[in-house]
A and B are shown apart, each in its own frame.
Chain A
Amino acid sequence: MLTTSITSTDLLFLLQGAWTTILLTLWAMLLGTAGGVICGLLRATLPRATLPLAWVLDAFRSVPLLIQFVLFNSLKSIAGLDWSAFSVACAVLGVYAAAYCTEIVRSGVLAVSPNVRRAGRSLGLNYWQDLRYIVLPMATRIAFPGWLNLALSVMKDTALVMWIGIVELLRASQIIVTRIQEPLLVLCIAGLIYYFISLVVARLGNQLEKRWQEND
């Protein structure tokens, strides 16, 4: 019962899968944050004019990620683009993260009291300086916990990319299960790796949050 045929190579394979998961998360968050900051600022400053943008982003939040992957993957083939599965996954996850990040950034920017901004402007800062020195530091603090949550949920959502043929952590565990037929053990190891990544990210985030709050 307690003997197992899992080898160190299998473990290495799992860790490689975990690395793919982390890479995907990093790229998706990079794209998502960049897109989210731009769209979020636009949404906060011009709420009426950017209403169509909100609808589009809302669509990305209301359609299952799995279907988005399949749709974009087939669209890529239809358009004749020669992208790797990895870049497709990054693009879809990036847009998905941007859709959520937009709301986080928007609420962060709106939470900066207009009086503070007016005070900044009346001290002679121009619009961009106001944005850079007043809104950015304050909004970042407010939005950071939400952003961290988003990063964690994107990390978990990367598990879905196996559907378009990328070997990430969960897919790697699946491949090993097919070979050694011990699903419980292998899946538990994969789960522990996910849990560990989440825990580390959450801890780091909490420490950063605490350090920022010292000045409040």
Chain B
Amino acid sequence: MFDYSFHWRSAFKALPDMLGGAWVTFETAALSMIFGVLIALCLTLMRQTKNPLARGFGNAWVSVARNTPSLFQIYLLYFGLGSFGIHISSWAALLAGITFNNAGYLAENFRGGLKAVPETQMRAARSLGMSAFKTYQLVIIPQLLRIVFYPLTNQMVWAVLMTSLGVIVGLNNDLTGVTQGYNVKTFRTFEYFALAAVLYYLIAKAIVLVARLLGWRLFRY
């Protein structure tokens, strides 16, 4: 029944390449988070305005991002945009897809975070003579950041896990892509993917650890 001999050595030989792939994975996830946070802030503001067009746009973005699979979103960008004559690389499609997804989920988090900051604080700060911008900068945003900090960490881990979908649209230099490349050359599926799984686990744990240290440093008081 169990006549398979594991060949870990060939997998370990591929480790440097896979570490390079892991870096690409991390980079993609970090970029998608940066863009995601910026877009999510815009979406949160848009959903709070009275303008029905901006509101509708924000709500539509959030509900589409949250109610369809992220793989579908990446597909739509990679194959669907071709109908308009726009051909983007698989990395760009992956990044755009994850960013779209992140922005939708983060906008929802930010909305919850804004709700948790009492409105009276805004009024209090304004009556002390702060401008609206100053109020946001010194009173609202720091508290918002504190509330959404752990959800942000979670989303970052999610982003790292989502980058593995790039291989389905043909990305070959991220961690899963490199692994799949070795897999089709050697057919040592289990060894290579087990190693990739360990690397993903380590990346996820490293992010959580750094976030915890950062949170401890930032929110001591």
Contact = CB atoms under 8 A, between A and B. Distances in A.
Interface of A: 59, 62-68, 70-71, 73-75, 78-80, 152, 156-160, 162-163, 170, 174, 177, 182-184, 187-188, 190-191, 194-195, 198-199
A70 B167 CA distance: 12
Interface in B79-118: 79-80, 82-83
Contacts of A163: 168
B79 A177 contact: yes
A152 B66 CA distance: 9
B80 A184 contact: yes
Contacts of B204: 62-63
Query: On chain B, which size bracket covers the interface?
Result: 35 or more
Contacts of A73: 189
A159 B71 contact: yes
B193 interface: yes
Contacts of A190: 72
B80 A183 contact: yes
A75 B190 contact: yes
A187 B79 contact: yes
17 contacts: A63-B200, A64-B162, A64-B164, A67-B164, A68-B197, A71-B193, A74-B189, A74-B193, A159-B71, A160-B69, A160-B71, A170-B69, A184-B76, A184-B80, A187-B75, A194-B68, A194-B69
B1 A170 contact: no
A79 B64 contact: no
Given A157-B69, A194-B72, 5 more contacts: A63-B197, A66-B164, A68-B197, A160-B69, A187-B79
Given A67-B164, A160-B165, A187 B72 contact: yes
A141 to B, nearest CB: 20
A170 B193 contact: no
B155 interface: no
A63 B179 CA distance: 14
A70 B193 contact: yes
B197 A159 contact: no
A78 B176 contact: no
Contacts of B167: 66
